[in-house]
A and B are shown apart, each in its own frame.
Chain A
Amino acid sequence: MDGLIGASAEALRLLFTGDREIWEIVAISFSVSFRAILYIVPLAILSAFALAYGNFPGRRVLITIVNALVALPAVVVGLLLYMLLSSSGPFGGWRLLFTQGAMIIGQMILAFPLLVAMIHVSLQGVDLSAWQTARTLGASIFRAMFTIMREVRFGLIAAIVAGFGRVVSEVGCSIMVGGNILHHTRNIPTAIALETSKGEFEQGIALGAVLITLALALNFAVATVRGRDMARH
């Protein structure tokens, strides 16, 4: 118990004294996950719209596959990506393995099904007449999409927050394709895993606190915006 209290106190000291190594890991973590979500959100939105409003063969099968992939283990994505990006793999020439680029690709793959599934559910909550109304009033396909996105904005924000939460805390893929290299690819989850394996809990607790604070802050922000909007009606 004393060990836990002591480690926690040391963790707080590291955080509040601006320990450079800790905050660099936090910055890498946020930068990688933010870019992964930024790059994959447009494709996820387009896919969700196609699944919600498209009329093509195999649509239902695709919905089932996307829903199944929500639970895709990060370590499996890491393994597949490792095989593709390693020097003997088909994309070895790109020299992406053990770079932030590889971590971003892995996190994009992980976030994609979750984002598509959640946005698709939000879109299903809007009547098809919303889409038809936008189109009959002269909106192009993209304008109509923006209109519907505005209608489901809270579902969209919730999906993005959930997607970010999923990738910022995953360890399996990042450690395999990122390599946990200090100053380069060491992010919060991989650092926690490393420090814990060494029996040094202070840094792990400090980084864990950052993750928990982030999760609380994001969810609080979404709930506040949603609450304000509901009060307005």
Chain B
Amino acid sequence: MSNLPEFITIQNVQKYISNRMVLDIDELVVYQSECVVVHGPNGSGKSTLLKILAGLMTPDSGVATTNGVVRPWRQAIREFRANAVYLHQTPYLFDRSVEDNIAYGLRFRNRSQSVLFSEVQSAMEWAGLSHLAKRNARDLSGGEKQRVALTRARILEPKLLLLDEPTAAMDRKSRKQTFSLIRDLASGGNAVYIATHEAADLYQPDRVIQLDYGKLVV
């Protein structure tokens, strides 16, 4: 139990892929503003859990409660999508400049061009990406791409940020920079879920949950 207010609760969630059960969760409560590390071996259902919380995947069964209201999944998915941003292990950056990538999600919100520009500039400064603003995002290194993806998510100020193996296959310097950005994000008031093989301490989480064969074991 946490003292933080509940944001999302999922219960009796099951997900099958190719007739194999990949997720079977009795109950998981996502609290507002908490940082959670999701541990588990490959194939334990970490990505599936994060994608369900992002509204990118629909479970085969289960109940979702958001802000204290039990909702049908179709409606819950809309809530999840409106509040959560999911980052893939290998982030997909669109074939356009770094600043255009970062501005992508903001364009769907009502922002004047000047406000949008200034938000993008300050987000790039936060991530140390200002010198790469005009570069095509596809030409960046792995670490730089992850920073662009984090910045692109952060600028939307999601209530729940879901990071799937954010530092996998990174060199030491990039990992250090990425850890620093994630810790900064986690202290910013939004809930952050990080699926990782790394030692949980690196993220200074509020709690750690363990998945094994799709089941929560902690």
Binding site for B on A (CB under 8 A): 127, 129-130, 132-140, 143, 147, 150-151, 232-233
Q: Does A132 lie within 8 Å of B56, measured CB to CB?
A: yes
Question: Contacts of A133 on B, CB cut-off 8 Å?
Answer: 88, 91-92, 94
Q: Are B108 and A147 in contact (CB under 8 A)?
A: no
A134 to B85 Cα, complex, angstroms = 10
Task: Pick the residue among B54, B55, B136 that contacts A232 (CB under 8 A).
Answer: B136
The answer to whether A151 and B81 have CB atoms under 8 Å apart is: no
A-B contact count (CB 8 A): 53
* B27 CB–A CB distance under 8 Å: no
CB distance from B71 to the nearest CB of A (A): 19
A–B pairs, 16, beta carbons within 8 Å:
A129-B91, A136-B55, A136-B81, A136-B84, A136-B85, A137-B85, A137-B105, A137-B152, A137-B156, A138-B81, A138-B109, A139-B108, A143-B108, A151-B94, A232-B136, A233-B136
B56 is contacted by which of A127, A135, A232 (Cβ under 8 Å)?
A135
* Chain A contact residues, majority secondary structure: helix
- A143 CA to B104 CA, complexed, in Å: 11
Interface residue count for B (Cβ, 8 Å)?
24
Which residues of chain A are within 8 angstroms of B56 by Cβ–Cβ distance?
132, 135-136
Interface positions of B (Cβ within 8 A of A): 51, 54-56, 81, 84-86, 88, 90-92, 94-95, 104-105, 108-109, 136, 138-139, 152-153, 156
Which A residues lie within 8 Å of B156 (CB)? 137-138
Is the Cβ of B54 less than 8 Å from the Cβ of A136? Answer: yes
A232 to B97, CA, bound (A): 12
A233 and B138 contact, Cβ closer than 8 Å, known pairs A129-B92, A132-B88, A133-B91: yes
Determine if A137 and B88 form an interchain contact, defined as CB atoms under 8 angstroms apart: no
